[in-house]
Amino acid sequence: MILSIRHETTYRYTEPVGYSIQHLRLTPRTEPHQRTLQWHIDVTAPKQAMVDAFGNHSHIVTYTQPHTEIRIVVTGKVDIVAPENGRIVDDSALSPLVFTVPTRLTQPDETIIELASRILPASPRGTDFLKLAETINQSVAYETGHTAVTSTAAEALVLGRGVCQDHAHLFLACCHAAGIPARYVSGYIDSGMTHNAESHAWVDVWLDEGSDTGWVSIDVTHAIYQNNHLCRLAVGRDYESAAPVRGVRLSGGEESLTVDVQVASSLHLYSQSQARAHSQ
């Protein structure tokens, strides 16, 4: 599946900003099941490429001249093959145990601990994690406007409403409660797959099954394994460490944010055999 992506982010300020820095995680990850065909990030200030601690391709953009607007436009095409049963090939040197540490957004409370103990057995399999995703969807209905990027997993569970990032945070919190490594994934979803926003969040969870041990990627909002309708941008412990765009600024008054994401799909060029050969 080829995903054609256009992602425009615009910040506007009521007063001039003297200095600002933006951290962009807007480049698809290099992984065997997805291949970037075209990709361009258009900004009006110098950008410096880097790879962060989680292996995400990132850019630091520094605005040193007074400005009242920041506009970031990303366009590109990515060829994607669905990972078999969600299995993600990851050659990162990071230990999975890095992703057992709860954050402010994924800290389990007593209710989450009870939920995790009720759904996850001592040695969970992939189907157990899909059941957890289904339970989260039943507990937190997908509705926009009730939570923010600062909302915690526990808060979303109490509200009973949230969006994909809340589903992901709650899944991570349940895994942390059970001592299971799990990480947040940010990216894009094919518009034909969902009526929700075309930017998306889901999870990778560490499955320990002997020779099949490794990461399994699960779209919690749809309670399915990752398929070829998803393009992966970044992984991290939570939204804050995998957000597509984050920044800081000096002055500027009040800020308004506009985001427009468009994703369309067409038949893929990248075969399963090519993906396996690339991973070897």
- pLDDT value for 195: 59
In angstroms, rounded to a whole number, what is the distance separating the alpha carbons of residues 198 and 86? 20
* pLDDT given for residue 197 in this prediction: 63
CA distance 70 to 85: 40
Amino acid at 88: I
pLDDT of 186 higher than 80 = yes
Its pTM stands at 0.91
Nearest to 161 by CA among 181, 134, 133, 139: 139
Which domains, and CATH codes, for the chain? 2-80+242-279 (2.60.40.2250), 84-241 (3.10.620.30)
- Chain-centroid distance of CA 123 in Å reads 26
Provide the percentage of residues in the chain whose pLDDT is more than 90. 85
Position with higher pLDDT, 278 vs 237: 237
According to DSSP, residue 270 is labeled -
Sign of CA dihedral 95, 99, 103, 107: negative
CA atoms of 45 and 276, how far apart (whole Å): 39
Reported as a pLDDT band with limits 50, 70 and 90, residue 102 is very high
**Would you say residue 204 has pLDDT above 80?**
yes
CA angle 77, 165, 250 (to 5 degrees): 85
pLDDT band at 28 (very low <50, low <70, confident <90, very high): very high
